[in-house]
Amino acid sequence: MGNVTSTPENQHVMAELLKHPAALLAAYEEATEQVAKAVGPQSALKWAEEGARIAGQGPRAWEAATEYFKASPAVVDTIGFPHFERWV
């Protein structure tokens, strides 16, 4: 999968993710296309914002956010976005 480009809509998310180790951005880039396809662009932006929020919670919170991004495609495919939001 190619690199996710920064757009005006996700620029704040990308800026937050870039503050952390590269594994976080890689996990986001790996999942974002599949999540966006499943839930649509507006919900995918909310998903990305939530991941950035998780990453900012503490010194090693980026690790939890990385796992959040990695798990998201399978979880959203299984339970749908409304339930996914509660799962988060």
CA trace torsion 41, 37, 4, 73 (10° rounding): 110
Query: What is the average pLDDT across 71-80?
Result: 91
pLDDT at site 2: 43
The mean predicted confidence, pLDDT, of the chain is 90
Render pLDDT for 10-30 as a digit per residue (tens, 0 to 9).
899 999 999 999 999 999 999
- Which residue, chain included where needed, has tokens 């959040």? 68
Using 50, 70 and 90 to split pLDDT, how confident is the model at 1? very low
Q: Is the pTM of this model over 0.85?
A: yes
Token code pair at residue 78: 């299984």
Q: Across residues 41-49, what is the average pLDDT?
A: 92
